[in-house]
């Protein structure tokens, strides 16, 4: 197995990557970079920033321009599931593969450079949309693909390294927080009076994720998934509120109000760290 990184990787370095792991990712990156249309390959997720566990997946992104045929990836012979372009929802997160390579779980994400470059421009002007995506409670902001460029480790080719745009720091927090407030309002008005515990729990949890996006955007911190979203935004206290829910309308209403108070405190604290008015409550 080729290992072009091996000389630079030492077991126990700051990324926690062993020589064996380095040779593995080097081999996979070489194979992906050789696919027709691919111009760059990057390593993302926890392994890019050194916060992974021994059993963490390997998240790789392939950047292509004009054309990429998923059949070329299938033809490499790695076992797993390879989607078509657009197979994961058709938005900026436009497909990928779940593979097993040498006993390791590897996710490969397709990234269309034309789309990514458009989203860089949109983010620089403070514009974004929120798209549904499997496993993401609040959906994903379209600037997620810009965040990946900022945080991922480029393995092959070259990619831009954007900073968090000031226009996005101004526009994203009120939008996320406004959505979170509406989510809580709906849970309070429609689910709590009916003693619908599951719907109230869902509303509080989704609102917490939305509010956490507001907090991190106000700080100018990129987000690529929801795994550590609540912890980074210091809203983990929402767990206790959800855990205490019971099928009583008054208790559920109080729980929604408690969630709103907690989230308001965190969002206001983040907004007060930078100039400008807080969004209305």
The CATH 3.30.460.10 domain(s) of the chain lie at: 6-156
pTM of the model: 0.88
| Three-class SS state of 107 | strand
What distance in Å separates the CA atoms of residue 35 and residue 168, rounded to the nearest whole number? 34
What distance in Å separates the CA atoms of residue 255 and residue 246, rounded to the nearest whole number? 10
pLDDT for residue 40 is more than 70: yes
Residue 8 gets which letter from DSSP?
Answer: G
SS3 of 48-90: HHCCCCCCCCEEEEEEECCCCCHHHHHCCCCCEEECCCCCCCC
pLDDT of amino acid 221 = 97
Q: Give the pLDDT band (50/70/90) at residue 163.
A: very high
pLDDT of amino acid 10 = 27
Q: What's CA 221's distance to the chain center, in Å?
A: 12
What distance in Å separates the CA atoms of residue 117 and residue 121, rounded to the nearest whole number? 7
Q: Give the pLDDT band (50/70/90) at residue 56.
A: confident
Architecture field, domain 6-156: 2-Layer Sandwich (3.30)
What is the rounded average pLDDT of the residues 218-238? 97
What is the rounded average pLDDT of the residues 4-32? 61
pLDDT of amino acid 19 = 52
pLDDT for residue 11 is more than 50: no
**E strand or H helix that includes residue 60:** strand 58-64
| Both structure tokens of 69 | 């045929």
pLDDT for residue 278 is more than 50: no
pLDDT of amino acid 62 = 98
What is the rounded average pLDDT of the residues 233-255? 98
Q: What's CA 130's distance to the chain center, in Å?
A: 12
| Both structure tokens of 81 | 């599931």
pLDDT of amino acid 53 = 74
């Amino acid at each position: 197995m080729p290992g072009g990184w091996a000389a630079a990787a030492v077991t126990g370095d700051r990324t926690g990557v062993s020589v064996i792991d380095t040779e593995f990712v080097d081999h996979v990156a070489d194979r992906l970079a050789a696919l027709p249309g691919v111009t760059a390959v990057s390593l993302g997720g926890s392994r890019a920033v050194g916060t992974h566990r021994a059993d963490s997946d390997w998240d790789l992104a392939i950047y292509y321009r004009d054309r990429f045929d998923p059949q070329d990836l299938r033809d490499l012979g790695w076992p797993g599931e390879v989607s078509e372009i657009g197979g994961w929802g058709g938005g900026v997160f436009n497909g990928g593969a779940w593979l097993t390579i040498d006993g390791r779980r590897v996710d490969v994400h397709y990234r269309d450079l034309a789309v990514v470059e458009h989203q860089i421009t949109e983010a620089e002007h403070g514009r974004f949309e929120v798209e549904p995506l499997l496993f993401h409670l609040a959906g994903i902001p379209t600037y997620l693909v810009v965040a990946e460029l900022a945080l991922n480790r480029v393995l092959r080719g070259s990619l831009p390294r954007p900073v968090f745009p000031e226009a996005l720091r101004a526009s994203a927090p009120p939008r996320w927080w406004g959505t979170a407030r509406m989510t809580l309002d709906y849970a309070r008005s429609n689910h709590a009076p009916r003693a619908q515990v599951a719907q109230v729990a869902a509303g509080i949890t989704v609102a917490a994720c939305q509010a956490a996006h507001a907090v991190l955007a106000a700080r100018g911190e990129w987000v690529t998934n929801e795994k550590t979203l609540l912890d980074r935004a210091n809203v983990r206290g929402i767990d206790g509120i959800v855990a205490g829910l019971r099928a009583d309308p008054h208790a559920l209403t109080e729980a929604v109000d408690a969630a709103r108070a907690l989230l308001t405190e965190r969002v206001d604290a983040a907004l007060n760290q930078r100039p400008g008015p807080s969004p209305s409550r």
